[in-house]
Structures are given as structure tokens and as C-alpha cells.
Amino acid sequence: MERLEARLAAFAAGAPAEAAGDETEWPDESDEASFLSESAERGDAPAPASDGSAALVIGDKLPPLDELVGKVPAEVLGLLDDLFRAKFTGVRKFAVPAAAAEPTPPSGGSRGAQG
């Protein structure tokens, strides 16, 4: 949030967007391939990308929207509204492919260690 405020302040002052300097660039395809190969060497399996083939489940009893929204902390609802203007509009259940439903076991190494 602080970075956003700093960028907005710089924009209001008329500074060019590149002047922020602390912004990182998005990784390109070679960076992504390198990350995935290193991840595979460590034994970390990346989450499969959604292929959009999940089917809407019809007939299951789902809780009312108001009940589910009531379980979300007020701070989270406020933040969602501030950041995304997000509003909950309905409750849906999608079938999950069996392979995606299985939890992946945690890896044994620490995340920050380089080897």
C-alpha cells in the first residue's frame, strides 16, 4: 500500500513513472523457465494452471450468500472494497478434478535457502 501511495504522490508531483526506481520488472519467459526447472530439481511441484474446464455443480445445497459474507472479517471486506470494489454476488460450487483435489505434501527444505 505504501508503494502505491508513493507512486501516486510521484504522479501527482509530475514525476515520470520510471522515477519510482524501486519497482521490479516482471519476469520474462526465460526467468519463468529457470524458476520452474530449479523448482523441479528441489522436488517442488508447481500448482497446475486452471484450464477452465471446471463444471458448475448443480443440485448441491449451498449456504446463503449472506451467511458466507458474514464469515468474512469486516477488515477484509473493507480492504476488498477499497482495492477492487469487489462485491459478492452469488454462491457457486464447481467440480474439482480429482488430481487437483489431492493436497500436495509440504517440501522438507526451507524456502529461503539456496543450494
What is the 3-class SS of the chain, one letter each residue? CHHHHHHHHHHHCCCCHHHHCCCCCCCCHHHHHHHHHHHHHHCCCCCCCCCCCCCECCCCCCCCHHHHHHCCCHHHHHHHHHHHCCCCCCCCCECCCHHHHCCCCCCCCCCCCCC
> What pLDDT, on a 0 to 100 scale, did the predictor assign at position 51?
64
Number of domains composing the chain: 1
Could you list the residue range(s) of the whole structural domain that residue 61 is in?
2-28+50-101
> What pLDDT, on a 0 to 100 scale, did the predictor assign at position 70?
92
- Determine, yes or no, domain membership for 17: yes
Distance CA 24, CA 102 (A): 34
- Determine, yes or no, domain membership for 111: no
- Determine, yes or no, domain membership for 33: no
- Determine, yes or no, domain membership for 106: no
> What pLDDT, on a 0 to 100 scale, did the predictor assign at position 41?
87
Nearest to 88 by CA among 72, 103, 102: 72
- Determine, yes or no, domain membership for 62: yes
- Determine, yes or no, domain membership for 13: yes
> What pLDDT, on a 0 to 100 scale, did the predictor assign at position 15?
58
> What pLDDT, on a 0 to 100 scale, did the predictor assign at position 19?
46
- Determine, yes or no, domain membership for 112: no
The residue ranges of the chain whose pLDDT is under 50 are 19-20, 109-115
- Determine, yes or no, domain membership for 113: no
Residue for grid cell 501511495 = 5
> What pLDDT, on a 0 to 100 scale, did the predictor assign at position 75?
93
> What pLDDT, on a 0 to 100 scale, did the predictor assign at position 28?
85
> What pLDDT, on a 0 to 100 scale, did the predictor assign at position 112?
47
